[in-house]
Amino acid sequence: MSDPTVNKILNVLAGEIDIPDSNYDIAERRYKALSDWFANPSSQCSSFDPHLYVQGSFRLGTVIRPLNADGEYDLDMSCRLRAGISKALHTQKQLKELVGADIETYRVAQGFKQAREEKTRCWRLKYSDNLNFHLDAVPSIPEDSGRRTLIREAMMKFGSPAGIADAAATLACAITDNTRLNYSSPTNDWPVSNTEGYALWFESRVEQSRLLMEKWASEARAARIDKLPINKRKSPLQKCIQLLKRHRDVMFKNDSDGKPISVIITTLAAMAYGGETELDDALNGLLQRMGAFVRPGIPRVPNPVNPAEDFADKWAKPEHAHHRLEQNLHLWLGQAKQDVLALQSVHTAEAISKQARSIFALELSEEVMKGIPGLTTGVGNVAPRTHVISNSPPKPWSNR
């Protein structure tokens, strides 16, 4: 049962690590400016029906403030050319260079100080202003019907509802990767991505809570507004993911290469979400269930909208063995359980402040603390932080 004081504490912490609306607005303006540039008839990509859209944590509403004051925000977006480019007639290199040419003219026109940077799958632009920010644009084209059919069938096999599988598979795309041996050769074997489909799947997990959906619908009607973007209407699932990512960042602040990656945390959390409407209930439930969604065989953590892709593929690679990636995931989950239990066991302002500093690297102001009802004065007992890994519940994939 939800504890009102604990629930308020967790919501305050989630609010402290969320980014300001103004930063969301800045990200949106930058994305729209680049989108308008590609749509302009003078751009090289304009004749190929370009479609730019945000992906990653900004799209899902799970972005958090960088742990360090000088940390950068990462805005991921896809640049999909929906007509005129095909795997039969073009190479990945040609597509990437076509998109890169418009990225470069945009950079010059906007007076960017830093040169564009070519990454494995994208082009990166760094903004030099008062907000540390870089934008990664991934070139892509729509995936062919045969590949979409295979993705749909795989999603159904892994338990996705037919409606989600149909809609998500339609959004699959082929992307570029300059480490592929066939990068410069015409071939049907391009890397597959489906970030739009993933966002659709993620929203379907958020919307499990009937009461939450009814509440949002009521608010929308009262305000006479359209359905808000997912980043503007935070659900318990989104807040849980933000808290978990921040906890991960603090725990692995000296081991960035060994920390659990965000897409694994997000996927396991979304799969484990039971539709809880209160944040404390949702967080406790996720921490008990997330580990059970790691499969014993390949793929260990499948991409829910492209199950052939394993988000945990690095776990078994010899070159990553020294990072102990799988062990670190379970170590982190055990520590998160212990820390959340400790946080929920104290109800004094001093103890809450101490826990916020230790677990989330947050300094809560006196004004923030006054907004939490039910707190007492004095120093409460705080459970020691030890690495504890509890037994996992029954494996949900065992009957699939």
- pLDDT bracket for residue 286 (50, 70, 90): very high
User: So where are the chain's domains?
Assistant: 1-18+234-400, 22-209
What are the tens digits of pLDDT across the range 166-191? 999 999 999 999 999 999 999 999 99
Given a cut of 50, is residue 322 above it in pLDDT?
Answer: yes
Mention the CATH class of domain 1-18+234-400. mainly alpha
Q: Between these two residues, 372 and 58, which has the higher pLDDT value?
A: 58
| Whole-number pLDDT of residue 316 | 94
Give me the CATH code for the 22-209 domain, please. 3.30.460.10
Task: For residue 290, count other CB atoms closer than 10 A to its CB.
Answer: 27
Q: How far apart are CA 182 and CA 389, in angstroms?
A: 43
326-to-158, 203, 264, 294, 316 alpha-carbon distances in Å: 22, 27, 11, 10, 9
Tokens representing 210 are: 């009937």
Tokens representing 377 are: 């004065």
Helices (H), 125-272: 145-157, 162-170, 195-206, 210-223, 236-251, 262-272
Percent of the chain with pLDDT over 70: 88
Tokens representing 82 are: 């929906």
Tokens representing 158 are: 């892994």
